[in-house]
A = this chain, B = another copy of it.
């Protein structure tokens, strides 16, 4: 069998969890190993555990590594796709210019292809998800952070180094709150899960009453975006306003993307997108308020079809595509 049509290893490495899987043609998942990243342990320990997980996944799928088509890696952070480096990763402390591609290549002795996790999701959604057949789409993942991927003229757009589509680090408020990345007023600092939790906590500490009030007394950083979402669902006014404000900022970010790319579709994934229309309805409204009429009328803003698997599926598609095989 040509290497390009063999099963591939797909890895999705995030700040919270990683997944190692073996994926056959057509996106069929042959095995699937899910582990916490334990990001505080730093790159060396994480890479060791990840390598073991890949061996487990291969064993479970009953395919030897040397018989695989290659390894596709979707990784959080700023990836230099030309040199295979994770150059920096706000949610993976200690990862600075890590030659991740070559480390895995030395370990597994098969081709390794690496891209940003949100870019992988964009590819997954374009080939097998919400955006099948479109020319131009933007994928946004709204989670702890905000990432993105772009399909332009039917193909993944990576830019000169592979760092394109960092939609979360578009500055929408120059003097806004500090972002994980060290800059101020990034979309991520104003509309991510982290931002939702922070905004709720700030308002609670300033004395607003809410069903979340008892939680804030216990100490800093206790409230999560999930708590806020749950409280909003129960009709809590503070929580509802925080969700609306985050959605409005998300809409400003979308408006910028609409004015810059004039895409046919924006696909929204990531943990916070579990809010569904409760997030997308006010975000769409804000997008239409802040963008030009013509492109705002064209773009469809929809929820991810592949959900949490989009990055993994995209990594497999990318490996197969780079190895020259069929999707």
Contact = CB atoms under 8 A, between A and B. Distances in A.
A10 interface: no
Interface stretch (A206-214, A231-239, A258-266): A258-266
A183 B252 CA distance: 11
B181 A292 contact: yes
Interface of A: 78, 80, 87-88, 135-136, 152-153, 155, 157-167, 169-176, 181, 183, 185, 249, 252, 255-257, 259-264, 289-295, 298-299
Given A171-B256, A173-B175, A174-B252, A160 B263 contact: yes
Nearest to A90: B292
Contacts of A88: 292-294
Given A88-B293, A174-B172, A294-B78, A159 B263 contact: yes
- Which of A153, A249, A255, A262 is the most central at the interface, judged by chain B CB atoms within 10 Å of its CB? A262
Contacts of A292: 78, 87-88, 163, 166, 169, 181
A164 B260 contact: yes
A169 B295 contact: no
B171 A262 contact: no
Contacts of A295: 78, 159-161, 163-164
A176 B155 CA distance: 36
A157 B252 CA distance: 22
A279 to B, nearest CB: 18
A159 to B, nearest CB: 2
B249 A163 contact: no
A262 B153 contact: no
A259 B166 contact: yes
Which of A80, A159, A256, A291 has the most chain B CB atoms inside 10 A of its CB? A159
In the A-B complex, list the 3 residue pairs whose CB atoms are closest, starting with the nearest: A159-B262, A164-B262, A166-B259
Contacts of A298: 160-161
Given A78-B292, A173-B175, 14 more contacts: A87-B294, A136-B159, A136-B160, A161-B295, A163-B262, A163-B292, A164-B295, A166-B292, A171-B252, A171-B255, A174-B176, A174-B252, A183-B289, A256-B256
